[in-house]
Structure 1
Amino acid sequence: MRLERVTPKNYESALALSVRPDQNDLVAPVVKSLAEAYVFPDHAWPRLIYDRDRLVGFLMGFFDLPWDPDRHPDDRRSGLWRLNIAADAQGSGYGRFAVEALCAEISERGGSRAYVTWEPRAGGPEKFYLTLGFRPTGEQSGGEIVGVLDW
């Protein structure tokens, strides 16, 4: 498994990536993530997840993003902004690989924790994130639970 940058050669494949239909309300499509990466180039870290030559997912991390404009300006965080694993590739360890790779990148940049948010509903990704070691912070963002992983 490996992460690759989004390029003119692979972006159309990235745009065609889709999660299971029952997950469409849990994660934005890749096209929205790429638009956000364009708008926030200093903070977004979009990457494609490959298993050999097969595209299996999309990850977008964020670095030093101001958490909340109403909080102290030094409250800047890094973590997982978006994770889309192809419908036919789920349950194969790609999500775990992607989160671990993002945490390694955060570490290389001097960080020691990663944040994520998830929709608190049945069928949502909460169990996945808790299994990886994330714990709820007690905060919410847009109605989603905020989780943190320290190392």
Structure 2
Amino acid sequence: MELRTIDPRNYEAALELSVRPDQADLVAPVVKSLAEAYVYGEQAWPRLVYDDDQLVGFVMAFLDIPWTDPDDTDRRSGLWRLNIAAAQQGRGYGSFAVEAVCAEIRARGGTEAYVTYHAREGGPAAFYAKLGFRPTGEVVDGETVAVRALG
């Protein structure tokens, strides 16, 4: 498994990635993520997840962004998006992508990684808990906020 940058050779395939239909309300499509990556520039870190030469997913980190307000001094880094293709789920690609995001944040001097998710039945809460994320008690835009220490 490896992460690759998005470029003219692979962006169209990235746009075709889709999660299972029952997960569509949990994560934005890749096209929205790429638009946000453009708007946020250096604060967004979008990557594609490959297994050999097969595209299996998309992941995007946010790096040192103001948390709730553009003028906020509370700046955080973490997992912004995770889209693993419906047919590829359950094979470790999501865990690999999350660990890669955490490694990138750590390499940039970060000590914590954040994630937000919809806390509903069939949602990703158990997945993130298994990877060491713990709810902070915060809710942002209706999503649970969780944090993982990177030390």
Which range, TM-score by smaller chain? Answer: over 0.9
CA deviation after TM superposition for structure 1 residue 74, in Å? 2.4
- The residue that corresponds to 1:112 in the other structure is 111
Which deviations, in whole Å up to 9, do the C-alpha atoms of 1:6-33 show, x marking residues without a partner?
Answer: 0010000000001000000000000000
The AA in structure 2 aligned to 1:12 is E
Tell me, what secondary structure is at the counterpart of 2:41?
coil
CA distance in 2, matches of 1:5, 1:141: 29
CA distance in 2, matches of 1:147, 1:82: 14
Does residue 85 of structure 1 match 2:84?
yes
Structure 1 runs of 4+ off > 2 angstroms? none
Note the residue ranges of structure 1 that are not aligned, 5 or more in a row.
Answer: none
- The residue that corresponds to 1:34 in the other structure is 34
- The residue that corresponds to 2:137 in the other structure is 138
CA deviation after TM superposition for structure 1 residue 68, in Å? 1.3
The AA in structure 2 aligned to 1:119 is H
Q: How does 1:55-94 map to 2 (within 5 A)?
A: 55-69=55-69, 73-94=72-93
Which deviations, in whole Å up to 9, do the C-alpha atoms of 1:18-56 show, x marking residues without a partner?
Answer: 100000000000000000001111210000000000000
Instruction: Give the alignment's TM-score, normalised by structure 1.
Output: 0.97
CA distance in 1, matches of 2:126, 2:5: 28
- The residue that corresponds to 1:45 in the other structure is 45
CA distance in 1, matches of 2:107, 2:134: 22
Instruction: Give the alignment's TM-score, normalised by structure 2.
Output: 0.97
Q: CA RMSD in A?
A: 1.1
Which deviations, in whole Å up to 9, do the C-alpha atoms of 1:49-78 show, x marking residues without a partner?
Answer: 0000000000000100100128x8321000
Equivalent residue pairs, number: 150
- The residue that corresponds to 1:101 in the other structure is 100
